Structure 1
Amino acid sequence: MSEGEYRVAVRALCDFTAREGDLDHRFTPAPSAREGIAGHALVAGRRGEGYEAELPLSGRFAGLVVGGRADGYDPAANRLEEVKTHRGDLSRMAANQRALHWAQVRVYGALLCAERGLEGVTLALVYLEITTGRETLLTERASAAELTAFFEAQCRRFLAWAGQEAEHRLRRDAALRELAFPHAAFRPGQRELAEGVYKAAATGRCLLSQAPTGIGKTLGTLFPMLAAMPRRGLDRLAFLTMKTPGRRLALDTLAV
């Protein structure tokens, strides 16, 4: 991410700004990922010549770059499609989940109109029942002005949060740059371990280490990784352990 620019996918944007109602948005039993891919290919294969599947679209608003791939666009009919696979009775789908799908296709519609200079477009939600292959088509006509207003409203909502998040990351990274080893001295072998971890993180390499009990492996790995985060632009650190006491040890180490 370049300075002053924040990138987000269309789906992530809508998941954040258009999600409402019940916290549970599942519609079960849900198709598997493989079934979903096959379903999208089936729908695209049924469309006529000139149909544009997996159409890349992107746009900007006030430093926010929004992008993704629309499932399909039919230039002849001027219809933009968002394909969703499902299993079972579609009437059981909650209204808030349907609203989230509409939000996605409306954002894609705004990006399409801006990119191709369209005055409007027909938006379509295509629900494919994977066991029968039956399509249920829901459509609405929207003008470019309506879609632009919707897109900008979602961007404003996201940016209000993103600004706070960016400020938090700046403060966090500033603190990590000043991070000092919490003890007066390293244990025997601990400095070598920490240096190896830091160098691997700083150069983007993998590292496999083996160390005896009592060397201070938890601190010897967490400390250099935290120190490397702002220098490498890392946002998250995952520390995996097999046992519950190991989790407690990691948390206690971070509290030192």
Structure 2
Amino acid sequence: MENIKISVRNLVEFVLRSGDLSSGQYSPKRALEGIKAHQHLQNIKGRYIDKEVSVKLRYPYKDMVFELSGRIDGLALEDEVYVIDEIKSTLKNAADCEENEVHMAQGKFYGYMYCLKKDLKEIKIRLTYFGIKDESLNSYERLYKVEELEDYVRGVIHRYTLFLDIIRKLRKNRDESINSMDFPFDTYRAGQKKMMEDSYRAIRHKKRLFVKAPTGIGKTISTLFPAIKSMIYEENEKIFYLTSKTINREAAKDTISLMVSRGLKIRAIILTAKEKICPFGKCDMEGCEYAKGYFDRINNAITDILENSCMIDREAVIKYSESHKVCPFEFSLDTSLFCDIVICDYNYAFDPSVFLKRFFMDESGNYVFLMDEAHNFIDRARSMYSETLQKQSFLKLRKSIKKEIEGKSFIAKELDDIIKSTSKVNSQFLRLRSKDLEDKVFKDYPKGLFKASKDFIEAVEIYLASEEYAKQEAYYDELMEVYFQAYSFLRIGEYYGDGYVTILYENDKDTAVKLYCVDPSQIIKENLKRCIALVAFSATLIPASYYIEMMGGFEDAVYLMLDSPRIICLDPVFMV
């Protein structure tokens, strides 16, 4: 029996999703709104007997076992009947929200899982919409027999298996090709076989291997070949080939293409930044034909590209996105869920602003990280976990808004609150400038600036949810740019600790505050939990102790130094 591990949310969204791709769908603002909605209802005394209830179920279907998991927002008991409450937030008045099939489906699954857990004959499923702006409520509910819910669950799973059958066929062909795959060259370069053997052992033993290998040894094939072999022998789910340069991504692409030409049947995708793949140059989902009806077409697009392409590069993504009229960037991210290898920038695995939430937000899988040019990563990590906020950005925004409303007899309170909040941010900058700070570098986090930035963000969010909000306003783009700068500043502030310093930059025209991550080692160590094994390699990965310490320490680290023709392995566990 094959085990299929999937969350209830991912399952029902994949099978039942429809409609348009929204510009706010994956934004931090939407996530924050959801948290606020949950907290508001969950904190109402007496509303629930329990909240955030974890539920799991092993569900056999044909020759598979689905390992389903999820979390019940609120559990109530009314007239001796249990109630599953699925909470969803909205910017509209809740009364304007119609029952959504995907939202209700989550509740039905959780209801069925809870019935089995408690041996219940019936349960009530409630879908509650909460209006963020006016705290309005609107609910849809129905009492279900457990047999009705079982039929529903089975039907959704059946529809998913129709797609899953395609994936299983591709995976069977992949495994057979991996099993028979030979090294694609007649001979090994000096040290190359050693690097492959140690890379495989590191993956097998779930270690972190740091390799210093000379240019020309063939590091890309020496890591990809054993990592691909591990996919059938060690049951690794996915390989992330991480790099900071386009030329290295092309090298990985060429290497995989070579193995494909020799019979390897694998699905690999190169992720391209949105601005480099959008056919219109600037993303505008509200009026984009590729975003409208996206979810009505995306599953067919994914099936098409997986069945007909092995190496899914930028050109392939654009070709199939145009054929199916789907957003190429979101299409590439959705397709990556079903690929065996993901080739991408370091950012997609580590940067808090763009990391792949599809893979790393909740429980990570059996992922292998191959990190090319690893000597570049520490400086990149410092940049990822640092952020700067500028005084002039807020002053310019305030000036732009005042210019737009000049002469108007009425100013919306929400807009006036934004103006006031920019003044508070400005005051905090002035307060920092007035302090006698030696070298303008200090260890303490600027709490006042943090609080003022948070107030600004909340003011903008209330304005965006108000009826007075209009995207056509002349200052809209500037408002959103400053909003996301402030949001990023606060997000990085959550990491602030011993590894940080605050730097104050000032001149006659501007003042800037930078949260600078001097030592990202603890953050990197935590984020490396997203993989079960790491192979980091470079021609200049010295001194070894520095890179090992900065990337989580020595606990499970191994160092291999290869110099043609001499080979040194510093850990006897990996000696041949």
1:51-110 CA-partner distances (Å, limit 9, x unpaired): 1212233342423332322112112353210112333455776x6x92210111112122
Change (3 A) 1:132 1:147: same
Give the stretch that moved more between structures: 208-217 or 219-228. Answer: 208-217
Give the structure 2 partner of residue 43 of structure 1.
41
Change (3 A) 1:91 1:126: closer
Give the structure 1 partner of residue 179 of structure 2.
177
Give the stretch that moved more between structures: 190-199 or 55-64. Answer: 55-64
Give, in whole Å, the separation in 2 of the partners of 1:92 and 1:208: 56
Any idea what SS the aligned residue of 2:239 has?
A: coil
Give the structure 1 partner of residue 116 of structure 2.
114
1:30, 1:86 within 8 Å by CA — same for their partners in 2?
no
Give, in whole Å, the separation in 2 of the partners of 1:150 and 1:214: 57
Give the structure 2 partner of residue 83 of structure 1.
87
The structural deviation recorded for 1:148 is 2.0
1:151-204 CA-partner distances (Å, limit 9, x unpaired): 111111122333432333233123212221111111122222222211111111
The structural deviation recorded for 1:122 is 2.2
1:31, 1:86 within 8 Å by CA — same for their partners in 2?
no
1:50, 1:75 within 8 Å by CA — same for their partners in 2?
yes
Give the stretch that moved more between structures: 22-31 or 163-172. Answer: 22-31
Give, in whole Å, the separation in 1 of the partners of 2:200 and 2:96: 52
Give the structure 2 partner of residue 194 of structure 1.
196
The structural deviation recorded for 1:45 is 1.8
1:83, 1:125 within 8 Å by CA — same for their partners in 2?
yes
1:126 counterpart (109, 128, 131)? 128
The structural deviation recorded for 1:49 is 7.4
Give, in whole Å, the separation in 2 of the partners of 1:198 and 1:92: 56
Change (3 A) 1:46 1:172: same
Give, in whole Å, the separation in 2 of the partners of 1:241 and 1:30: 26
1:53, 1:72 within 8 Å by CA — same for their partners in 2?
yes
Q: Which runs of 5+ in 2 are unaligned?
A: 259-576
Change (3 A) 1:30 1:185: closer
2:157 counterpart (146, 155, 158)? 155
2:87, 2:128 within 8 Å by CA — same for their partners in 1?
yes
Give, in whole Å, the separation in 2 of the partners of 1:86 and 1:206: 44
Give, in whole Å, the separation in 1 of the partners of 2:47 and 2:30: 29
Letter in 2 for 1:86: T
Give, in whole Å, the separation in 1 of the partners of 2:134 and 2:211: 52
1:79, 1:123 within 8 Å by CA — same for their partners in 2?
yes
Give, in whole Å, the separation in 2 of the partners of 1:109 and 1:26: 31
Any idea what SS the aligned residue of 1:212 has?
A: coil
2:9 counterpart (11, 14, 25)? 11
1:24 counterpart (21, 25, 28)? 21
Give the structure 2 partner of residue 214 of structure 1.
216
Any idea what SS the aligned residue of 2:78 has?
A: coil
The structural deviation recorded for 1:27 is 5.4
Bigger radius of gyration: 2
The structural deviation recorded for 1:224 is 1.4
Letter in 2 for 1:24: L
Q: How many residues are paired up?
A: 251
Q: Which runs of 5+ in 1 are unaligned?
A: none
Aligned CA RMSD, in angstroms, stands at: 2.7
Letter in 2 for 1:84: K
Letter in 1 for 2:51: A
How many percent identity over aligned positions? Answer: 25
Letter in 2 for 1:18: L
Give, in whole Å, the separation in 1 of the partners of 2:96 and 2:15: 23
The structural deviation recorded for 1:14 is 0.3
Give, in whole Å, the separation in 2 of the partners of 1:115 and 1:233: 30
Give, in whole Å, the separation in 2 of the partners of 1:91 and 1:184: 69
2:83, 2:125 within 8 Å by CA — same for their partners in 1?
yes
2:94, 2:136 within 8 Å by CA — same for their partners in 1?
no
1:31, 1:130 within 8 Å by CA — same for their partners in 2?
no
Change (3 A) 1:237 1:30: closer
1:6, 1:64 within 8 Å by CA — same for their partners in 2?
yes
The structural deviation recorded for 1:25 is 5.5
Letter in 2 for 1:235: E
